[in-house]
Structure 1
Amino acid sequence: MPPKVSPEVEHLAAFFAQCGLSDQRSLETARSKTAPLAHRLLQLAHADSHSHSLDDKQITLALQIAKDANSLSDDQRLFILDAVRDRRLAKSDQVAAAIKYLGSHPQPIDTDDFNQACGVGFSITPAELDSRVRAYLSDKADEVNKLGWTGFSKVSGLMRQADPLRWVAPLDLKAAAEAVYAELFGSREDAKLKAQAAADQAKKDAKAATAGGSTKASTSAVPLAAESPDDMFAQGWLSRLHKPGENEQKFPERMKEHLEWTKGKVFTRFPPEPNGFLHIGHSKAIAVNFGFAKYHKGHCYLRYDDTNPEAEEQVYFDKILENVRWLGYEPYQVTHSSDHFAELYDLACLLIKKGLAYTSDDTAEEIAAQRGGKDHGPRHESKDRSKPVAQSLAEFADMRAGKYKPGEMVLRMKQDMASSNPTMWDIIAYRVLGKPHHRTGTEWCIYPTYDFTHCLCDSFENISHSLCTTEFIGARTAYEWLCDALEVYKPRQSEYGRLTLEGAITSKRKLLKLVKEGHVNGWDDPRLYTLVALKRRGVPPAAIISFVSNLGVSTSASLVQLQRFEQTVRAHLEMTTPRLNLVLRPLRVTLENLPADFALSVDKPLHPKDPSMGSIQAPFSRELVIDQDDFRAEASRDFFRLAPGATVGLLNAPRPVTYVSHEVDPATGVVTHVVCRYEDETHGGQALPPNFKPKGWIHWVSAPHAVPVREARLFRRLFKSDNPGALGDAYLSDLDPHSLELVRGAVVEPAVWRVVRDSLARARDVVRARQDEAERNGTEAPPSVDGLEVVRFQANRVAYFCLDGDSALREESGEVEGGDLVLNLIANLKEDKLKGK
């Protein structure tokens, strides 16, 4: 049971609630040591006839003043509060600077000097920013020169805390620092290449020096050292691609026209079919096409290949653009193959007039027989191949006019039936579908095929590098044949190996069956490897790009081990997520030697290796909860957590605890309650040696302050085998029935609300920065593509989690103050050796 609330605390809590705090926060504030001072400060603020009511964020800053400015006078505290009320001070670090300033400057206060010291109305020109960054790095020259690029994160993090750079927008400060580093140490990419080369050489030397044992090393179990995503463009297959203007043309004047339009820039495109959701394999295509263009300071289109209205839905269009933006890219233009339907039709007519296309009423079976059939026998030409041009033109016009039903007439290209390449066996250019199109309505009843459309749209958009996966190698001959036949600019198609992830299904047909038959909970079920599912699971988009970059790009397709992907995700989360205590399966613990109203605030960092994340005050009380797995009713030599006779440490708590007794539910035999002694001498604990170190440490949450989690969703691999796609239609029998575990009753420490607020604020800042960049570039401003999954944290000793969209947050005055939490497992802290086995 929570400690009984005294009348004094109840009175203070009611006052803070009237000021606008939530009930829970009012009670926590009323119980704190700074409650009387906070009460007096807010009373003075409301007594001031010139004051207006404070919003929730301003109240938070007022409480900070009460907590941290106890050495100042009431007048000085009110001076700071006035700056909060008129919104000169809007952030916590500004208030901290104000407290520091007033503590060292006598009254009367120079308002201009105060504003400058606290970053009020701060502005800086690019030239001034560059000068200040250089001055700061010059002062730190020894450390900067010693570490080079490897110390950039550390140095830039400290730079963000220095005056006046602390008031500069983080992205602007980072860009300015990177520019100076590039002058000092060369490009970041070159530095990483040198570091990687040195690491590779060290590995070779180590192998050579190792006597005995196998010298064969796995290249797929662990990712390479952290590299820049740009590395895959600076080396390997992509670095050897032609330069703009080097793709040969049958008609040289076309290249002249192309270069006049592109100005010699790289132009690529990402051309998905809007008939399904993108998956992990598409992330490589996105990274390659958008990244290659960006690396070469060019442009990349997002072009929807929307030539099959039977399978296209608006949700696919929306999610494809959202996924591209989620991965961090903004299309140069969003285009559609359907933009060119009229032009494509005219070119089809031109192809007929050139004697290079003909209409045919051959059935699908007859066309297959002409191509050798199932037995790959001799090929022969269609009876319609020698049809007069005028007849084909008339019948093609009739196709457009709707005089034929689907399957009754097609337009075929007249290529080379003697070729060894099947894509040259008079493939179909147009067919009758009789379906309305989402963009053109009923204007068309005939639609061009991919083979006719793709290369011509590449030509229309002046694509310099048509990058695709190796299954299109055979199509390159037909691609180039059609461009030359119509005498248009001919892009150069280049093919790379596709990405296939172990344990993942990427077939749209098989994914659709999983969804429709209820084996998964929608396309965004976190057990899938669609991009919408990975997003919902909380996988950071930067981790996906890093994963693709570390794999590199070559012409070989590969089945990549799942643990390699997960290790990349863990490596990214390790240094980017705060840490909280989450108890999945709570077990009540009472510290019998502490009074019922015992309350202690434990100061602990949000990340022990990154001070810039700040710290939190974790409440510590007589009643705690720990995880059921951290207690055993019988002691054993191989168990170092809580058990009879054991003393264990509580993470970040000042003193350890010692087992006293436990209670068991007589009906189930389950332990329901553990009694311990808090080893603090002032409360009757043992006088442990100063250097005493417990053998085990466990995490905990104060029971009266625990934030309930409605549901924690734990995921394992959906399929038991490594390559379920190879099982054909038997893949459903490979499903793991235990791939989803729903845990109810978990609790997390109250600092989770701080993490929620900070995470959402950072996400909004990133979106605003991208919108500002779009405005500067004169392009479309991307909307927010992030959801609650941006709230990520490491649950100490458990796993990485994110907030699921099923959570229901409660906001007060624009700030999250509580709500209903649903958590998704992102990744375990280390590889589960039994996963999927």
Structure 2
Amino acid sequence: MLNTYGNHFIEKIINKDLKNQVYRKLRTRFPPEPNGYLHIGHAKSIYLNFYLAKKFNGYFYLRFDDTNPIKEKISYVKAIKKDLKWLGCMWDGTEKYTSSYFNYLYKYAIELINKGLAYVDKLKKNEIKKYRGTLIKPGINSPYRNQTIEENLLLFEKMKRGDFPEGNACLRAKIDMKSSFIIMRDPVLYRIIFSNHHQTRNAWCIYPTYDFAHCISDAIEHITHSLCTLEFQDNRRLYDWILNNISIKYRPKQYEFSKLNVEYSVLSKRKLKTIIEKKIVDNWDDPRLLTISGLKRRGYTPEAIKNFCMKIGVTKQENSVQLSLLESCIRSDLNVRAPRAMAILDPIKVIIYNMPDSQKEIITIPNHPNNKKMGTRKSIFSKEIYIDRSDFNEKPSKNNIKLSHGIFIRLRYAYVITVTKIKKNNFGKIICLICKYDKNTFRKNPINYRVSGVIHWIAKENVLNAIFNIYYPLFKIKKPDLEKTCLPFINNNSLVQKKGIVEKSIILNSKKNFYQFERVGYFCIDKDSLEKLQKKNHIITFNRIVTLKERKSNKLLKKQQH
């Protein structure tokens, strides 16, 4: 991974800087705001920073940019740390917090005031927005912009003491209200928030903005290359302005790369929160979300996510990645590592009439057709078995590869059977197939007739009841993240539950929790179900990770109930 996850423009910049001794030691960081769970877009940034640090024998830090106690929670901090560990990206030293630098940040704010480069503004939030102007209309100076340094120091102290209500005063940088870059039109540096902070408790009632705190925190930690997505490209001007106008000596440099967008999904924390609050999904770890915890619960592996990030690369070009690329990465990973098993999502009973009631054969089945090290398992073949309803066709057709009258089908690893009689209930639904088996066809083909196909099966004695969660894209359009609101585009059939059966022998004896159910797809045991597996009468639940073969995106949303 270290040898292949590279050769992009950022790595070339680092190579040049180290060669020219601009920096002696590379230092990168992942600086999440603890206001939600991480998603796959964060994984791209994590791997970029982590592997660059490892490749150049540098340091990789985890820092929580915790400057807004209203939206932040300690539970998010814990979830983020857990996700990084699971991804295999362990940070150097203990995790860091911007809140640990609040005293320094306050000192630098005072320094800007003393230099006449910051002032306390009493305009309301909507007034500040109005005065700031637009892309085609320059901003207007605040009436409080020309207060004396002494007045601003006194007012800032009153803010710190809590003498102003929230929203009645803020500290702004004094830059240029006519700048062509809106970010430079006297941005807010400090605001009043009366809320308990998960780290500093009630020690402060004024909090620095992200833009003010972020660059100074980078400098304090001696970050060499501050890597962020292209949406912060204009913010680099403010990043540099702040560092150039305070007495801090260290100078990190900011570089931007394109953020990750994946088709049929949203990665905006704001939109993710809306989806969760509306109870469209269960929580942040819902398998339909591309959060790290959601992908983990779905059955994705860290290796597959790494491979995905490696394939999309690091560029400055904004684009939307096909969902099929992500799916192909987990499919390739599990194809090698997942043991095989039988599962039937829509069972139909089969009675083999020419087999004695007392006859029960023990069949040895490989756990992986191409990996003998995975060993074998014992299965049972008996008079009563189950097959999937989709593998039966009441009316045989030309080139039929399904079980039917006059059609011979092989049971995987076992015998060839054909239908002789169909039993239906009073409503006309097929409830049982009466079949005949050829006892001379155990793992070999007959001489005098043709076998049309192979299907999977489970004997009555080897049945374990199960629930299968079948997932489809959460949205009906390719780019819901571009919409102002994504709610009208929700796919109401993104989760389909089926009640079926699996092989008892492998599920109860295997140390794995993910499987390739032959001819069905890749599945994992849901984490809640895994915890209850030892309890009696618990019906095990499986999440479908991915189909066996790639599907075209425009077909993913069609005929989901079938």
User: Is the TM-score greater than 0.5?
Assistant: yes
Supply the distance in 2 between the matched residues of 1:325 and 1:516 (Cα, whole angstroms): 27
SS at structure 2 position matched to 1:750: helix
- Give the one of 107, 117, 120 matched to 1:346: 107
Of 665, 669, 673, which aligns to 2:432? 673
Q: Structure 2-normalised TM-score?
A: 0.93
CA distances 1:651-703 after superposition (whole Å, capped 9, x unpaired): 111x31232222111x2212111122221159xx9x97469762200001111
Q: Which amino acid aligns with 1:614?
A: G
Q: Which residue pairs with 2:8 in the alignment? A: 236
Letter in 1 for 2:500: G
Letter in 2 for 1:547: F
Distance 2:446 2:396 in 1: 23
Checking the alignment, whether the CA contact within 8 Å between 1:679 and 1:688 is kept in structure 2 is: no
Selected match of 1:735 from 490, 493, 518? 490
Q: Using the alignment, how far apart are the partners of 1:244 and 1:273 within structure 2?
A: 31
1:375 & 1:229 partners in 2: Cα distance?
Answer: 43
Q: Deviations over 1:212-264 (max 9, x none)?
A: xxxxxxxxxxxxxxxx464232x12232123486699xxxxxx99xx6xxxx2
Query: In the alignment, which residue of structure 2 is the partner of 1:541?
Result: 302
CA distance in structure 1 between the aligned counterparts of 2:79 and 2:532, rounded to whole angstroms: 27
Q: In the alignment, residue 641 of structure 1 is paired with which amino acid?
A: K
Q: 1:836 aligns with which of 521, 537, 557?
A: 557
Cα gap change, 1:810 to 1:673, in 2 (>3 Å): same
| Distance change >3 Å, CA 394–CA 559, structure 1 → 2 | same
Residue 403 of structure 1: how far off its partner (Å): 0.9
In structure 2, how many angstroms separate the alpha carbons of the residues matched to 1:393 and 1:748?
Answer: 73
Structure 2 partner of 1:629: 390
Show CA shifts across 1:743-763 (max 9, x none). Answer: 1133334212222xx22xxxx
Residue from 317, 328, 337 that aligns with 2:88: 328
What is the match of residue 251 of structure 2? 490
Secondary structure class of the residue paired with 1:231: coil
Question: Contact (CA 8 Å) 2:134, 2:182: kept in 1 or not?
Answer: no
Q: Residue 472 in 1 paired to residue 232 in 2?
A: yes
**For 2:179 and 2:47, how far apart are their aligned partners in 1?**
35
Q: Aligned partners of 1:568 and 1:668: how far apart in 2?
A: 45
Q: Distance in 2 between matches of 1:429 and 1:643?
A: 74
* Distance (Å, rounded) in 2 between the aligned partners of 1:732 and 1:247: 50
**How far is the alpha carbon of 1:374 from its aligned partner?**
4.4
Determine the C-alpha separation between the residues in 2 that align with 1:445 and 1:246: 42
Per the alignment, in what secondary structure is the counterpart of residue 344 of structure 1?
helix
Asked if structure 1 preserves the Cα contact closer than 8 Å seen for 2:138 and 2:178, the reply is no
Match of residue 507, structure 2, among 739, 748, 752: 752
The answer to which structure, 1 or 2, has the higher relative contact order (CA under 8 A, 6+ apart) is 2
Is the alpha carbon distance of 1:818 and 1:368 closer, same or farther for their aligned partners in structure 2, counting shifts above 3 Å? closer
| Aligned AA (2:200) | T
State yes or no: 1:454 paired with 2:214: yes
Q: Which has the higher helix share?
A: 1
C-alpha distance in structure 2 between counterparts of 1:602 and 1:692, whole Å: 24
- SS of 1:232's partner is coil
**Matching residue's letter, 2:376:** S
- C-alpha change, 1:509 and 1:407, in structure 2 (3 Å) is same
Superposed displacement of residue 369, structure 1: 4.1
**Alpha carbons of structure 1 residues 493 and 378: separation in structure 2 relative to 1, 3 Å:** closer
Counterpart Cα distance in 1 of 2:19 and 2:105 = 23
The 3 A distance-change label for structure 1 pair 688 and 305 is closer
- CA change 1:752–1:246 in 2 (3 A) is closer
Identify the residue that residue 699 of structure 1 maps to in structure 2: 456
1:469 positional shift: 0.2
Please tell me whether the aligned partners of residues 229 and 546 of structure 1 are also in contact (alpha carbons under 8 angstroms): no
Residue 279 of structure 1 aligns with which residue? 39
Which segments of 5 or more consecutive residues in structure 1 lack a partner in the other structure?
A: 1-227, 249-254, 760-790
What is the 5 A alignment of 1:140-539? 228=1, 230-233=3-6, 235-243=7-15, 264-332=24-92, 333-371=94-132, 373-374=133-134, 376-488=136-248, 489-539=250-300
Q: Tell me which of 594, 608, 613 is aligned to 2:355.
A: 594
- Alignment match, 2:342: 581
Indicate how the Cα distance of structure 1 residues 681 and 650 shifts in structure 2: closer, same or farther if over 3 A, else same: closer
DSSP 3-state at the match of 2:549 = coil
Equivalents in 1 of 2:522, 2:117: separation in Å?
A: 60
SS in structure 2 of the partner of residue 712 of structure 1: strand
Residue 810 of structure 1 deviates from its aligned partner by 6.5
Asked if 2 retains the 8 angstrom alpha-carbon contact of 1:230 and 1:549, the reply is no
Q: Distance in 1 between matches of 2:433 and 2:456?
A: 15
* Counterpart residue number, 1:798: 520
Q: Secondary structure at the match of 1:745?
A: strand
471, 476, 491: which is aligned to 1:720?
476
* Inter-CA distance 619–818: structure 2 relative to 1 (3 Å threshold): farther
* Deviation of the 1:344 alpha carbon: 0.9
**Which one of the candidate residues 628, 647, 652 is aligned to 2:413?**
652
Q: Is the 2:533–2:540 contact (alpha carbons within 8 Å) kept by the matching residues of 1?
A: no
Q: Percent identity?
A: 35
The alpha-carbon deviation at position 558 of structure 1 amounts to: 1.0
Are 1:612 and 2:373 an aligned pair? yes
Q: CA–CA distance in 1 between the matches of 2:255 and 2:39?
A: 22
* Larger Rg, first or second structure (1 or 2): 1
Report the 3-state secondary structure (helix = DSSP H, G, I; strand = E; otherwise coil) of the residue aligned with 1:455.
Answer: helix
Deviation of the 1:724 alpha carbon: 1.6
Point out the structure with the larger strand share. 2
The question of 1:641 aligning with 2:362 is answered no
Match 2:333 to one of 564, 572, 578: 572
TM-score by length of 1: 0.63
> Do the aligned partners of 1:543 and 1:569 also contact (CA within 8 Å) in 2?
yes
Q: 1:623 to 1:386 in 2, by over 3 A?
A: same
